[in-house]
Amino acid sequence: MLDLLMRLHGVGRARALALARVFVDLRFTQLVNGRRGAHAIYRPPG
């Protein structure tokens, strides 16, 4: 996700992380068998 933001917006990694905190919807899941997952969903504004 950070690489995508860096490429699309021409910013460095620290700036991409700051953007991700605002624009990326993070969802965390845990299944019954103990497997855990984190999903980042980028929804462009507009």
What's the number of domains the chain is made of? Answer: 1
C-alpha neighbours within 13 Å on the C-beta side of residue 41: 6
Nearest alpha carbon to residue 20 among 10, 37, 5: 5
Looking at residue 37, its pLDDT comes to 79
Structural domain span for residue 28: 2-42
What is the Cα 40 distance to its own chain's centre? Answer: 4
Looking at residue 43, its pLDDT comes to 73
Q: Determine contact, residues 39/26, Cβ cutoff 8 Å.
A: yes
Q: Determine contact, residues 2/12, Cβ cutoff 8 Å.
A: no
Per-10-residue mean pLDDT, the chain, length 46: 87 88 75 74 73
